[in-house]
Amino acid sequence: MAALSLRRLRAIARKEWVQLRRDPRSMGLAFALPLVLLLFFGYAITWDITDIRLAVVNQDPGQKSRELLQAFAGSGYFQVTERLASPARIDRELLHAHITGALVIPPTFDRDLAAGRGAEVQLLLDGADANTATIAMSYADAIVARFSRDVVLQGRRIQLPASAETRIWYNPTLESRHMVVPGLVAVIMSIIAAMLASLTIAREWERGTMEQLASTPVHRLEIIFGKLLPYLLIGFFDTVVTIAAGLLLFGVPIRGSILFLGGMTLLFLLGALGLGMFISAAMKTQLLASQIALIGTFLPAILVSGFIFDIGSMPVPLQVLSFLVPARYFIAVTRGVLLKGVGPEALWPEALFMTLFAILGLALATRAFHKRIEE
């Protein structure tokens, strides 16, 4: 095997960049789509629920019932949109989705509090949206618990013998975008890298230039790395842009080492680009290669990487499958570095898996390209 030539590698990289620059669709995919996806998913995916429409049936005109209603209205999560005279209308309002829930205060609420008995209130929620109902229920429990601690009985305040003081680390305001945006960086880069690389070799076959390239003294590794280099630089540039946009637009903090994150990004891009070039070498057309690359990266990165759904809550077969999804490890890295400020001392398992992914992706691309040339 002849020694690899840096000059030939640069020539292949320059040729690939010229082809990419002449293709407006690929240029848009490379530079515009990552930011568009970040803005779309960053604003669209949120678990922050602050507009729970609440109907109130207050059957007790006393002071304490009004204080409880003020606690719900002033929480920032519930909006009292309707006041109903009786519980009979609740079913109709929920059925037509005019409200998310209804709070029913019984006629004996103030009297039960004054007598030292347990005073009950009823919260009815629309369970068709299970996620919103679950979050609304937790909000309501917290509001009622806080109200109960401050209730006045027989002229003195009742203090609970024990109370929990909760502290949230790494994301104290529980902003869902702080969790979503770092994960989006991994998801977007896995999609863009695989799709861009999936067009490289298939494009040569469609244009009939692969035979000419194979007849030159250029080694197949020089072709693979030469074609990969422009996309590696583009992917790294896109990562920097998306992280900067997350910082400026969504307020995502950067608490860890940027150098460590940059190294992990290069490993991830090498693996994703290698996977895309493997698909490109194995397929005969750009259309088929791009479709397979999209299906093979988008669905796993969204569904079984831990980006949206908790992996521990998935069925065991899907948990096992998630170990084969590279985005799982890069998401852990981006969240760990950006939100927690941790480095290789905590993320070395992810770094190891991403290194293996990069080696595997490049090996598959090289082998598939060599096999296609021999055919």
318 vs 305: CA distance, rounded Å: 10
Q: What is the pTM of this model?
A: 0.78
Residue 136 is predicted with a pLDDT of: 87
Q: With beta carbons less than 8 A apart as the criterion, state whether 158 and 151 touch.
A: yes
286-332 pLDDT, tens digit each: 778 888 888 888 888 888 888 888 888 889 999 999 998 889 999 99
Least confident of 77-81, 112-116, 177-181, 323-327: 112-116
Q: Between these two residues, 40 and 49, which has the higher pLDDT value? A: 40
pLDDT of 166 > 80? The answer is: no
pLDDT of 121 > 70? The answer is: yes
What residue spans in the chain does CATH classification 3.40.1710.10 cover? 52-157
Q: Which residue has the tokens 């109709």?
A: 92
Q: Running DSSP on this structure, what letter comes out for residue 102?
A: E
7-34 pLDDT, tens digit each: 887 888 888 888 778 878 778 878 888 8
293 vs 36: CA distance, rounded Å: 19
CATH class of 52-157: alpha beta
pLDDT of 202 > 80? The answer is: no
Least confident of 39-43, 45-49, 118-122, 252-256: 45-49
pLDDT of 155 > 60? The answer is: no
241 vs 375: CA distance, rounded Å: 41
For residue 274 the two structure tokens come to 């290698």
**Helix H or strand E segment including 82:** strand 78-83
